[in-house]
A and B are shown apart, each in its own frame.
Chain A
Amino acid sequence: MFLSYPFIVFLTVLIFLYYVLPKRCQWFLLLVAGFAFYAAADIRYPPFLMATAFTVYGAALWIGRCSQKTAAYRKGPHKEGEAPSRQEKKAFRRKMEKKKKRILLLCLFLNIGILAFVKYTNFVIDNVNTVLEHTGRQELSYIDFIVPLGISFYTFQAVGYLFDVYWEKCEIQKNFLRFTLFVSFFPQLVQGPISRYSHLSQTLYGKHSFDGKNIRSGLERILYGCFKKLVIADRMGAGLHVLAEDPGHYTGGFVFVGMIFYAVQLYADFTGGIDITIGIAEMFGIQVEENFIRPYFSKNIAEYWRRWHISMGTWFRDYMFYPCSISRPVKKIAVFCKKHFGMGAARRVPVYTATMLVWLVTGLWHGARWYFVVWGLANGVILLISEELTPLYQRFHQRFPGLGGSVCYRAFQVFRTILLMSCLRLFDIYGSVRTTLRQFVHMFTQFGSHPVTGEELAGLGLSRADYVILGAGVLVLVLVSLGGRGGSVRETIRRQPYAVRYTVYVSLFFAVLLFGVYGQGYDVRQFIYNQF
C-alpha cells in the first residue's frame, strides 16, 4: 500500500494539512487519515478496528477505575472511626483484583476471539475435513471470512496496552478518539512495529511544528526502505518464486540458493517496510521504535530473536513468556520438580514450558498453517538445545580461551546463526512441512547431482544484470549494517560535505528509480509481513 502513487499523493496532502491546520487538530487529522487509509484497502476493515478500539478502551477505563478505588480505599481519607482495618483493606483489594481479572479476561476473550475466529476457523475446518475424509463422512464447508489487514498487529498492540493498564504500568487514555488513534496510527497499522502505549503516546498526541529536519530525515529513511524493498527484495522475490514453485526441479544446491535468497528477501522486505513506517512517522514528528538491530550479526539464535522483529519478541516476552513462567500452576510444578528432581529441573521446567508455549503461539501468529506451527516449535526446540549446550560451550572456551574473541570465531558464529535461521525458513519458502523436509534432505543428498550453474540461475528469471544489482544491493546492506554499529549511518552521512551528502541521496534515489523492480504492468509485491 505504501508503494503506490495514490499513497504518495495521500501522504503529501496529509503532511501539508498537518502543518497548516492548527496544532491541536494534528492528532485528529491522523485519526481520520488512518481510517481513510484503512477503508481504502477495504471498506469492511474499519468496523473490526473500531470493535477492538472500543472494547479495549472500555475495559481499560473499567480496570483503571477498580485500581483507583483500591488506592482510595487504602489511603483514605476516611471519617474518624470509619477507617478500614488491615484485614478489610486486604479483602477489598482482593475483591477489586478479581473484578479486574474478570474484565481483562472478558476483553481478551473478545479480541483474541475475533482474531482467532477470522484467522483460524478455516484452518480448523481444514483439519476437521482431513479427519472426515478418512472416515468417509461429509466434509464441512469453508467460510469466506474477511481477514482485516494487519489484524494481528493492531490486536496485539491494543492487548498490550490493556495488560499494561491491568498491571498499572502505563497511564490510561481517557479520550476514546485519542485511544483509537493509538490503535489505528496508519504508518504502522498493517505491518507493525507493535508499539507500546507508554512510548508511542509521548509523541503521538504532541503539537508538532514544521521542522525541515524531520521531513528530510523521514524522506531519507523512506528512500532507503524503498531501495531495500524495490531494488533488492522484489528482485530476489521474483527469482525465489520460480524456485519455490518447482521444488522437484530446483533441488539439491538450489535449496541452498533458495535459503540464501529468502534470507536476503525477507530481511530487505521487512526492514524496508519498517524503514518506510518509521520514516513516515518521522515526517509527522512522531517516533516509532526500531524493530531491528542488525539481526544477521547475531552470535546465536537467542540473540537473533532479540534483534529481529523486536516489538513482537518483547511483546511475547512481557505478555506471555514471563506471566506464564511465574503463573501459579507453573510455580507449583517448579516446586514439585525441586522436591522430586532437584534444582536443575525446577529451574528448567517453568522457562522451557513458557518457551515452547510462546513459540507455538508465535508460529500460529504468523499464519494458520501447520508449517508455521512446526517452524515456531522448531525455533523453541533449537533455543532449548542451545541453552542445554551452554555448559559445553563454556568448557570449550575454557579449554581454548583465546578463540572466543577472535574475528574468525565471531564470523563462524554469525554464519552459523544465519544458516540455522535460513534452514528454518525453508518452511516458509515451500509452504508445506512434507516438501520442506524432503527439500532439506535433498539439499545434502542431491547437492552434487543438481549443480547450480549459471544457466540454471538464469532460468530463475534473473539476468546477469539482476545478479550484479543484487550483489551491489546486498553489499550496501552489509556496509550500512556495519556502519550502524558505531552510531547512526544517517548522522554520519549528514556530517559529510554537501557534495558527498547529496551524491549519496541522489545515487540512492536514482538506484530506486532505475533499478527498482517495477514498470508498466508490474504490480509491486505486497510486503511479506502485511499478510500477518
Chain B
Amino acid sequence: MNEKEIRQGVLTVLQELHEDIDYEEEEALVDDRILDSFDLVTLVTELGEEFDVEITAKDFIPENFNSAGRLTQLVLRLLDEG
C-alpha cells in the first residue's frame, strides 16, 4: 500500500465521522476541538480495522491526529514497524 492509497483510506474513515469537514484543509483537528473524544476513539478503532495496525496510547497524541496528513504518516509508520 503506498502513501497515496493510505491517505485516501484515512480520508474515507474521517469522512465517515463527519462529512461536513474539509479534511484536505484542516490542520488542527484536535487542537481546535473539531474532533471530540468520541471521534478520536472511533478513529483509532476504524483505522485499526482499515489498515490492520494498532494505535496505542504511545501514539495517541494530538500531533498525530491533527490532520489527514499526520494520520497518514502515523499509519505509514505503524505499517512499517509491523
- In A329-384, which residues have CB < 8 Å from any B CB? 331, 334-335, 338, 343, 346-348, 350-351, 354
CA gap between A350 and B48 in the complex, in Å: 15
The minimal Cβ–Cβ distance linking B23 to chain A, given in whole angstroms, is 18
Asked whether, in the complex, the Cβ of B81 is within 8 Å of the Cβ of A347, the reply is: no
Distance (whole angstroms) from the CB of A303 to the closest CB of chain B: 11
SS class, residues of chain B in contact with chain A = helix
Number of interface residues of A (CB under 8 A): 25
B45 near A334 (CB under 8 angstroms)?
A: yes
Q: How many residues of chain B are within 8 Å of chain A by beta carbon?
A: 19
Q: Can you name the residue of chain B whose Cβ is closest to the Cβ of A325?
A: B41
Asked if A459 is at the interface (CB within 8 A of a chain B CB), the reply is no
Q: Are A331 and B48 in contact (CB under 8 A)?
A: yes
Q: Evaluate whether A169 and B61 lie within 8 angstroms (CB atoms) in the complex, with A86-B82, A93-B81, A326-B55 already known.
A: yes
A288-339 residues with Cβ-Cβ distance < 8 A to B are 321-323, 325-326, 328, 331, 334-335, 338
Contact A351 to B49, CB < 8 A, known contacts A93-B81, A322-B57, A326-B60: no
Task: Judge if A168 is at the interface, Cβ distance under 8 Å.
Answer: yes
- In this assembly, does A167 line the interface, its C-beta being within 8 Å of a C-beta of chain B? yes
Q: Is the CB of A347 within 8 A of B61?
A: no
When the two chains form their complex, are residues B45 and A90 in contact, meaning their CB atoms are under 8 A apart?
no
Inter-chain contact A167/B57, CB cutoff 8 Å: yes
A322 near B41: Cβ-Cβ < 8 Å = yes
In the complex the two chains form, what is the Cα distance from A90 to B55 in whole Å?
16
A86-B82, A90-B81, A347-B38 given; A168·B58 CB < 8 A: yes
Q: How many Å lie between the Cα of A164 and that of B14 in the bound state?
A: 28
- CB nearest to A332 among chain B residues: B45
Inter-chain contacts of B82 with A (CB < 8 A): 86, 90
Q: Is the CB of A326 within 8 A of B81?
A: no
Q: Is the CB of A351 within 8 A of B37?
A: yes
Most chain B CB inside 10 Å of its own CB: which residue of A90, A334, A346, A354:
A334
Whether A348 pairs with B38 at a CB distance below 8 angstroms is yes
**Minimum Cβ distance to chain B for residue A434 (Å):** 34
Rounded to whole angstroms, the CA-CA distance of A335 and B49 in the bound complex is 9
A326 touches B41 (CB 8 A): yes
B44 interfacial contact with A, CB 8 Å = yes
Q: How far is the CA of A394 from the CA of B20 in the complex (A)?
A: 16
What 9 A-B pairs are tightest by C-beta distance, nearest first?
A167-B58, A323-B57, A325-B41, A90-B82, A326-B44, A350-B41, A334-B45, A331-B45, A347-B38
Given A167-B57, A321-B37: 15 more A-B contacts, CB < 8 Å: A90-B82, A163-B57, A166-B58, A322-B37, A322-B40, A325-B37, A326-B57, A326-B60, A331-B48, A334-B41, A335-B45, A335-B49, A346-B42, A346-B45, A347-B38
